Structure 1
């Protein structure tokens, strides 16, 4: 079987940014041809009515000679203008009094040529009303090769396609490009912010989902502020949680009923076997019946755990460990072990259910008795901050099995006498108390460490 590396989940935020950017690119790509068509149509419609054709050509050709006098450079547009406009005329002057003129000024315009000091910008027309194209214009121009100058010229020159294209390019650089830049920045920075705000409710639902545990049933993901597009997914998850809760409750009820139904036949079996004459077969049947009784008790303990949180109260870990040692010392001695109780403190307060913790410690000591090799010492220690340790001198637990042994019905050795529920019960009890159980190297043997959370500072002492 070929294992493929899982693909990284796609980011909705950046997917939207990319799609919006692509859409903007497509719109801009379509807009440019439309602008070109509009520019051509505008130029064709207004080319003959453009009044600055002569002044534009003169402005582009203006320069100064070595002495600072105004001159016109021989440009292609100037040559074309002189060729097409036989009556070309103009007057150019600067603020220093330098003047450049060409052609014969129409008599009607001659008086204005002598009054340019009193004219800033003007359009001259000899018809009443607003003329589409005046007979002459006066304008100050700053961006010329000769600096700031004033131009008085006729309006017979036409708008060239080259100049119209340059004007369109300038329009693109000054107007279109900044708009595109603002749109791109808005897409890059605003869209993630908008998406983050829109998905805030989904983040709350994800946070709630991360807290779902087997011990917290009846949990539903919140729908507040969840986007409408994601609501069906959240509803589907909530429906699945309801089905899981229902199935778990059905499973729990079945195990509880089965365990209760088994207790009576097992008790009857024990009674009848105990009345038989002592034989090796009777001893084996008694052991098997005891295993069955233990399995029944463990199943009931697992089902009762979830209802014991409300019975938590102050307790003393040293006292609980000492009680287990007293109860199981005869069994350990008869199995060939020495038993040692080594509390590092006289009392060690904690919060929890005494019966459950006592059952967990008992299971671990019984596990040490069964798997310790019937030799050496079993040591029960209690240390700060809130730890109980059970150490044997057996073969220990392989590193690769240390997680598996806490799985229900898992047995390290197939021929072990246990049902494989004892260590799972211990883990469930520790999780119920907010603690943890871990297996370490005892050197030799196995060291089971039960770590409990510290009790609140204001909790009453035992």
Structure 2
């Protein structure tokens, strides 16, 4: 099973979220230390909310206090609790005795915004909270103090709780959503390059990836991949030059050998040697075909597959008959137009017929057929190809029988040529036993 790498988007997200959390925690600690060092005091926020809920409009249009249960308990526990309220129309309410130091603020209370006043020394009698109550038709400003104040630890917890829900959590959630989106959008060009790399055919020289479209940090990887492609292409060029040279060098001695064998007296040995030399000649020519034809349209022409097959069968029929193999051709009677290299495709068919002659047994019949779908088949009545070897026989130098006289290259070269024509080749069981090799080629438009 292939292992999938970790998501870059989530790695970046976590590496951003974790420092954010640590920075926030550090800020809470620093804030708590600062509050503790400065001995800052606040009126208990819960008590402030109770007063805010208890202020109600009076029947005469003024301001009244209808204490909640919690506020009544606080008034009992803190006898010095005081409350002053004033609206913009001049109505006022007073509960308890405010410190004289805050008198100037009380006179202008209706002009003050929500704020907190911190007493500088214990018991913090000057600590007060100013808040705003909004009723249907008016606003009431109130100030209160003389009650419990929060400790440094409690205040720090309150601030942390406030900032966690209003700052840290939204920031983390935004990071979890936004960063993956940004990363995926930024990696769009990388995915395009990956699709391009996946479509590269190493058999076609000069293919490279565009490194200008990917992020700067990934360009070295793309350039390294392109350098590897260049080395592979150079290796293929060296191999192709060697195979072409070897095939050219083989043609002359094979031709001389064929001439000498044909001059021998007729007999079984001469027949076998002629067949072996024909296979060697066809193999050398297929090696040259691979160097000459690379699937480009310029090397192709529109040709009749049925006629090509009929001519090839006619060329090899004397050799097959001399070997004792009957050979028959079945065509559709109408042209089957395909695009391809006539010589290369003819040698593919020649290779398949020679392969059938090797494996069909003495005097075994061989059938060659072409249909209107662009399918060419060669059928024998030999031993057939075992199911587990039907893909391997197209590998170079693989032979179903180690003692076989074949080279193990013919079928491999045949598949290479067919695939460069945009087609496919496979083998199935023949109807009456033996093997049936099928070549499928794309039909040519009129």
For residues 428 and 212 of structure 1, the distance between their equivalents in structure 2, rounded to whole angstroms, comes to 17
* TM-score normalised by length of structure 2: 0.77
The residue aligned with 2:14 is: 18
Match of 2:29 among 23, 30, 33: 33
Match of 1:232 among 220, 227, 247: 220
The residue aligned with 1:81 is: 78
1:24-79, Cα deviation, whole Å (9 max, x unpaired)? 3333333332333244345x1x43xx6899x8498289599xxx983575777545
State whether residues 276 and 282 of structure 1, in contact with CA within 8 Å, keep that contact through their aligned partners in structure 2. Answer: yes
1:297-330, Cα deviation, whole Å (9 max, x unpaired)? 3322332232764221211112112222322333
For residues 315 and 245 of structure 2, the distance between their equivalents in structure 1, rounded to whole angstroms, comes to 30
For residues 139 and 31 of structure 1, the distance between their equivalents in structure 2, rounded to whole angstroms, comes to 26
Instruction: Tell me the CA shift for residue 342 of structure 1.
Output: 2.6
Query: Does 2:442 align with 1:446?
Result: no
The residue aligned with 2:339 is: 351
State whether residues 295 and 422 of structure 2, in contact with CA within 8 Å, keep that contact through their aligned partners in structure 1. Answer: no
State whether residues 295 and 420 of structure 2, in contact with CA within 8 Å, keep that contact through their aligned partners in structure 1. Answer: no
For residues 301 and 217 of structure 2, the distance between their equivalents in structure 1, rounded to whole angstroms, comes to 47
1:248-327 paired onto structure 2 within 5 Å = 248-272=236-260, 289-306=277-294, 309-327=297-315
1:247-282, Cα deviation, whole Å (9 max, x unpaired)? 211111112112222222333344455556778877
For residues 98 and 215 of structure 1, the distance between their equivalents in structure 2, rounded to whole angstroms, comes to 93
- For residue 230 of structure 1, give the secondary structure of its aligned residue in structure 2: helix
State whether residues 28 and 160 of structure 2, in contact with CA within 8 Å, keep that contact through their aligned partners in structure 1. Answer: no
The residue aligned with 1:128 is: none
State whether residues 51 and 134 of structure 1, in contact with CA within 8 Å, keep that contact through their aligned partners in structure 2. Answer: no
For residues 259 and 184 of structure 1, the distance between their equivalents in structure 2, rounded to whole angstroms, comes to 68
Query: Does 2:391 align with 1:403?
Result: yes
Residues 152 and 29 of structure 1, relative CA distance in 2, 3 Å threshold: closer
Residues 21 and 417 of structure 1, relative CA distance in 2, 3 Å threshold: same
For residues 362 and 78 of structure 1, the distance between their equivalents in structure 2, rounded to whole angstroms, comes to 111
* Structure 2 unaligned spans of 5+: 57-63, 113-118
Query: Does 2:210 align with 1:218?
Result: no
The residue aligned with 2:115 is: none
- For residue 439 of structure 1, give the secondary structure of its aligned residue in structure 2: strand
Instruction: Tell me the CA shift for residue 401 of structure 1.
Output: 0.8
State whether residues 279 and 351 of structure 2, in contact with CA within 8 Å, keep that contact through their aligned partners in structure 1. Answer: no
Residues 195 and 385 of structure 1, relative CA distance in 2, 3 Å threshold: same
1:115-134 paired onto structure 2 within 5 Å = 121=110
Query: Does 2:436 align with 1:455?
Result: no
1:93-112 paired onto structure 2 within 5 Å = 101-102=95-96
Match of 1:178 among 166, 171, 190: 166
Instruction: Tell me the CA shift for residue 222 of structure 1.
Output: 0.7
State whether residues 369 and 378 of structure 2, in contact with CA within 8 Å, keep that contact through their aligned partners in structure 1. Answer: yes
Instruction: Tell me the CA shift for residue 406 of structure 1.
Output: 1.0
Match of 1:391 among 368, 379, 389: 379
* Structure 1 unaligned spans of 5+: 124-130
Matched length: 420
Residues 121 and 212 of structure 1, relative CA distance in 2, 3 Å threshold: same
- For residue 450 of structure 1, give the secondary structure of its aligned residue in structure 2: strand
The residue aligned with 1:420 is: 408
1:151-204, Cα deviation, whole Å (9 max, x unpaired)? 576x5x266125x76665555455442333332233222222222232233223
Instruction: Tell me the CA shift for residue 368 of structure 1.
Output: 1.8
For residues 170 and 147 of structure 2, the distance between their equivalents in structure 1, rounded to whole angstroms, comes to 36
* TM-score normalised by length of structure 1: 0.75
